[in-house]
Amino acid sequence: MIEKELREIKRRFRPERSNIMRIVGCFVNSNKQIIARISQPLGLSDSVVSEMLLGVMKKTLSGSLGTNLNDVRFSTKDVLESDEHKLIMTLRSSALSDGEALESFYSKVIESLNFEGNYVILLANDVYDVPARHTDGEEADSTSQFSYIVCAVCPLKDTPGGLSFHESDSLFHSSSISSLLSSPELGFMFPAFDDRQSNIYSALYYTRSVAESYPAFTERVFGKGAPMPPKEQKAAFSQVLSESLGDECDFNLVRSVHAQVGEMVVSHKESRDPEPLVITKSTAKTILSGCGIDDEKLEKFGQAFDESFGTNAAITPKNIVSHNRFELSTPEVSIKVDPEHRDLVSTQTVNGEKYIMIRVSGGVSVNGIDISLDD
């Protein structure tokens, strides 16, 4: 999916736009037991409750593509034979009305997660009459339908009892402990909405944290390994660079890589290209070649890249290079530099000692106090 398609689906999560008739799910306690099943018709619910529930489901489509949101791909064999794909297809085709399929799905999710407290598994089904679009961008009558399910796994937070004021009698009353629904920790949409059409060969997988991908969940629900979390991707890319390039992975090379990736991000944004910008092995090798790395080390880098990320991997640039932040650190000192002024920093060896040098082009302050640098 691309950002434009994602935004189109996210606009669905309003009471006046959505065809979601009800939200189903279950309440799971800390002992991994289902203690209640949920089937809440939105049409009969308070409008505030309906809007808030739709807002919770919408959050499983939040964040950035390639970071919080990642494609889970299914092969033709998966679509034809895998039990996991058949189950989520049944959930979708039955509009979440197949009780046996729901119970099987709940079991898979519960088996895969180890949350400390209580949580809920929520599912919704929407049918979108996809409007056709003329070449000028104007919408026309719908020519197809997109039926999809959205799943959200949300922790419940207990609030302590206290006093609440009731306007009806202008008195305070004691309130008991209650459980508040939190934002989703993970979830997914199936199928994907690619080229504004249903793609049963793909699901859009969401995780709130960039450090956790819940691999047991993807194995049980999709029969697939989890995408590498962005935090791990960054660490892996740093390791691939340093180990494959050795002494040539110096300050000037890293600064150059940082600058080139930053230029790619800016150029892609200005081009308004709907396809997401990605870094492949070929892209990375081209960047390194421009930095003067020889073919032998480029080959070594390519092998290490494949081993870490997989063959034909395509990585979101911000997952491996913080293009809007430039920072140098030693065990004792950390220096943050505006990326636009990274050229003010250099490294030098003076009398056998290694130094990080910062050229001063304006005033200097220490803890907010302006200081003089006169000789």
pLDDT tens-digit map of 271-297? 888 888 889 999 999 999 988 898 999
Residue 126 has pLDDT above 80, yes or no: yes
Element (H, E) at 159: strand 139-159
Query: Would you give the end-to-end CA distance of the chain in angstroms?
Result: 59
Let me know whether 293 and 268 are in one domain.
yes
Let me know whether 197 and 49 are in one domain.
yes
Residue 145 has, within 13 A of its CA and on its CB side, a CA count of 7
- State the Cα angle at 192 between 187 and 195, rounded to 5°: 150
Let me know whether 284 and 177 are in one domain.
no
What is the arithmetic mean of pLDDT over 207-222?
Answer: 94
Please identify which residue in the block is written with the tokens 């203690």.
Answer: 35
What is the arithmetic mean of pLDDT over 161-187?
Answer: 79
Residue 341 has pLDDT above 90, yes or no: no
pTM score, whole prediction: 0.81
Query: Sorting pLDDT into bands at 50, 70 and 90, what band is 149?
Result: very high
Distance CA(287)–CA(38), nearest Å, equals: 53
Which of the listed residues 163, 196, 227 is the one where a domain comes to its end? 227
Say if CB 244 and CB 293 are below 8 A apart: no
Let me know whether 75 and 177 are in one domain.
yes
Selection from 9, 12, 10, 2 nearest residue 66 by Cα: 2
Let me know whether 178 and 237 are in one domain.
no
Let me know whether 217 and 300 are in one domain.
no
Count of domains for the chain: 3
Let me know whether 36 and 93 are in one domain.
yes
Let me know whether 202 and 291 are in one domain.
no
Let me know whether 275 and 155 are in one domain.
no
DSSP state for residue 43 in the 8-state scheme: G
Percent of the chain with pLDDT over 70: 97
Let me know whether 314 and 184 are in one domain.
no
Give the pLDDT of residue 136. 60
CA distances from 270 to 5, 236, 285, 326 (A): 19, 29, 24, 22
Percent of the chain with pLDDT over 90: 50
Let me know whether 38 and 179 are in one domain.
yes
Is residue 310 helix, strand or coil?
Answer: coil
Which of the listed residues 206, 227, 248 is the one where a domain comes to its end? 227
- Cis peptide before 131, with omega less than 30 degrees from 0? no
Let me know whether 51 and 150 are in one domain.
yes
Query: Sorting pLDDT into bands at 50, 70 and 90, what band is 165?
Result: confident
Say if CB 258 and CB 241 are below 8 A apart: no
Please identify which residue in the block is written with the tokens 């434009």.
Answer: 4
Range of the domain at 192: 3-227
**Torsion, Cα of 154, 202, 146, 88 (10° steps):** -60
Beta-bridge partner residues of 68: none
